Structures are given as structure tokens and as C-alpha cells.
Amino acid sequence: MISRNLRHFRLILAVADLGSLTRASEANHVSQPAVTQAISKIEREVGGAIFERTRNGFFLTPRGEVLAARFRRAFELLDPALADVSPRLRLTVSQAQLQALIAVREAENFTLAARQLGLAQPTVHRAITQIEEEAGRKLFERASYGIVPTRACQALAQAARLALYEFDQAEADLAEFEGREVGQIVIGAMPLSRSVLLPQALAQFRALRPLLKVRVIDGPYELLLSGLRRGEIDLLVGALRDPAPIGDVVQEVLFDDRLALLAGRDHPLVGRHDLTLHDLAGYPWIVPPKGTPTRQQFEALFADAGMAPPASILESGSILLMREMLGMSDHLGCISRQQARAEIEKGLVAALDFATHLPARPIGLTLRGTWEPTGAQRLLLDLLRGAVPAETA
């Protein structure tokens, strides 16, 4: 583990940029022994030299290049937000203070934030007070239900979260030099990905990286997207949005998928080749929630024909619930064809003979625009790209 001393990290970058201990110490108004001590401490922690010492100056080793690149990315995210609050914070703020700021911003309560961090409440309160005193202004305002972060505080907390994420990534990158697996990969999984893309890619990944921690999180798209943007989730896998939901994420199409209209095996509409929308509208439906691409296409199916969607709707994106409901009732279901493929092939449900003529849905990856994956994360991305269903590739 690298000690998260932000001032030491800035000294490392100064030596890398200036190639000299003397110039780095002068630029940062510290003694040359202080710079030497910072370098030695970090080199002990990372298990090897980060600078090559020569007569012509200091030059980054491969380890040092990895470390400096992550430090640089972190401060490019953090420094503008610090400057907006107070230019002096760039010199004085610590990681502990930033962690307290993030926790209080999320919890909107000092006691809850302290509990989350495993610290005493006065410790967290003192950390926020120190930042506010340095900034010369309040970062939180009191409300009836707690404390509310100012706009500048929200921006700083977001930048700090992403900067701390880069330090975590640095440790994972450095572990590659020794063949160790450090850190984790967090995947936000939308329904289709859990049955089509992820199982194959994760099985292959686990064979190659048996010890690296992987977490798969499911939930509403909006929550997954929020986690991605905050740096809590590394990548999202599933249906893409058109247009992209916000400018700081990028989407990568892996394949196109179409909708399937499903029924239980004994449903009266199964086997008919003359189905109309009026036939479909007369039955209750199970469809994914409002706002999802599948639901939008389902509603467009009727809207394009000048019809209102069916009145009886049960909202769920679960193929398991849909399968069971179709088997014991006259409900119809609308879901991704790829997601339902196994159920159709096993005869657990039947696909209705009705051509929707709707455009294909793009399925793929959603990533932060500024994200720089580690070696392990790049491996998983490559495996996901290779896990495209054969009939859609």
C-alpha cells in the first residue's frame, strides 16, 4: 500500500517534470532532503526504484512512469476543483480531509459519515472545519434534515472521489510488475448482460486472473450510471442509450439485439401466423420498467400504429419472473431476444410469430470518458468484446 501523502505525490511529479531534486525542492519551497525522503519512502512502498539517478538528472523508471501517470491524472481532476474553493487547498489538503468531505457530502450528516469511515464524529467534523477555515467559506449549509453541500463542495467531492480512484488504480498497476493481483473490478450489470455477456467473459477472466476481486452490481440504470460517474463502478454492460445519457461517459456497441414477444407454451396465440396488434393488446403484459430501451420500443410498437399500449401492465425486467408468470397465466411478455434465448430453446416459453419491425437495440459498454483501465480491467474488456453471441457478431 502506498501512503496517501498528496504532498509527496506532488514532489514526485515535480522531480519527474524537472529532472532534478534541487529544482523540484525550489519549485515546491521545501528542502532537498525532504524531496529525497519522499522519493525513498514511496520507493520502499512500491517495491522498486521509481527514478533512475544519472549524472544528467533523474529519469522515471517503468514503475515510475506508471506511478507518475496516475498521479498526474488524479491532480488534473482534483486541482481545478480545489482552486474553485481556494487556491491554497492545493498545498494544504490531505487525503483524510478529502475522504471526510466525500463521506459527509454523501451522508449529509457528520455522525453517519463518521460511522461510514470508522472514525469518531469529532475527527470528521474537525477535518471539514480545517478545509472550511483554509477556504474561508462554508462548504455545508444546515437544513432541517441535515447538512447540505454547496455547489462548490459537490464539485470538489466528485473530483476528490475520482482522484482517489486513480490512486487505487496506481496500486493495481504497480502490482502487475510483481505478478500480484491488487484491487478489484466493479461491473454494473443490466439484465441482458447477466445472461448473455458476463457469464462467458467472467469464466474466462477467472481462469486467467483467479484471485482478483470482481463485484457485479445490478440495479436501476440511473443508479448504475451514477455509480459509474462517481468512480464506484468501473464499467456498465448492457443496453445502450440513444443519445448517450450525459457528456462525460462514452458508449461502445458490441452487438445489436431485437425484442421477443413471448407467451406460455399453451397460450392461445402460440402457433398463429396472422396475429395483429389488436390481438396482442387484448392480453395483460409483463414488460420492463418505464425509461428502459425495451419499454420504449414496446410502447413505440403501439404508438406507431396509432394505438394506446395495453392497459394491464406488470413491470419487471426479470426473465425468471416472466417465465413463471407466462407459464401460469395468459400474460404476454416483451423482453430482449438474447435474454430469452435459453428459455425459448428449452421450450419453457414460446416466441410469438409477430414481426415488430422495430430497430435493433445496441448492446455494449458504457465507460467514463476519462477512464484509464488497469491491465486486469483491459483484459476483462477484451473478453467482453469477444463474448458477443455468434448469431449477432
Render pLDDT for 140-161 as a digit per residue (tens, 0 to 9): 998 877 899 999 999 999 999 9
| Fold agreement between 184-256+362-385 and 259-359 | yes
**Is pLDDT at 391 greater than 70 in this prediction?**
no
- Please check whether the domain covering 6-159 is classified as CATH 1.10.10.10: yes
CA nearest neighbour of 351 among 285, 255, 288, 272:
272
The total number of residues written for the chain in this structure: 393
Confidence of residue 95 (pLDDT cuts 50, 70, 90): very high
Render pLDDT for 111-142 as a digit per residue (tens, 0 to 9): 999 999 999 999 999 999 999 999 999 999 98
| Arithmetic mean of pLDDT, 319-347 | 92
Q: How far apart are CA 376 and CA 369, in angstroms?
A: 19
**Is pLDDT at 393 greater than 50 in this prediction?**
no
Q: What percent of the chain has pLDDT over 70?
A: 99
Neighbouring residues of 140: CB distance < 8 A, sequence distance ≥ 6 = 104, 128, 147, 148, 149, 150, 153
User: Which CATH code is given to the segment(s) 259-359?
Assistant: 3.40.190.10
Render pLDDT for 336-355 as a digit per residue (tens, 0 to 9): 888 898 899 999 999 999 98
pLDDT value at residue 318:
87
User: Which CATH code is given to the segment(s) 184-256+362-385?
Assistant: 3.40.190.10
Owner of C-alpha cell 395468459: 330
Domain boundaries, the chain: 6-159, 184-256+362-385, 259-359
Q: How far apart are CA 154 and CA 158, in angstroms?
A: 6
Task: Tell me how far CA of residue 186 lies from CA of 103, 342, 363, 373, 385, in angstroms.
Answer: 20, 26, 19, 12, 17
| Arithmetic mean of pLDDT, 191-199 | 86
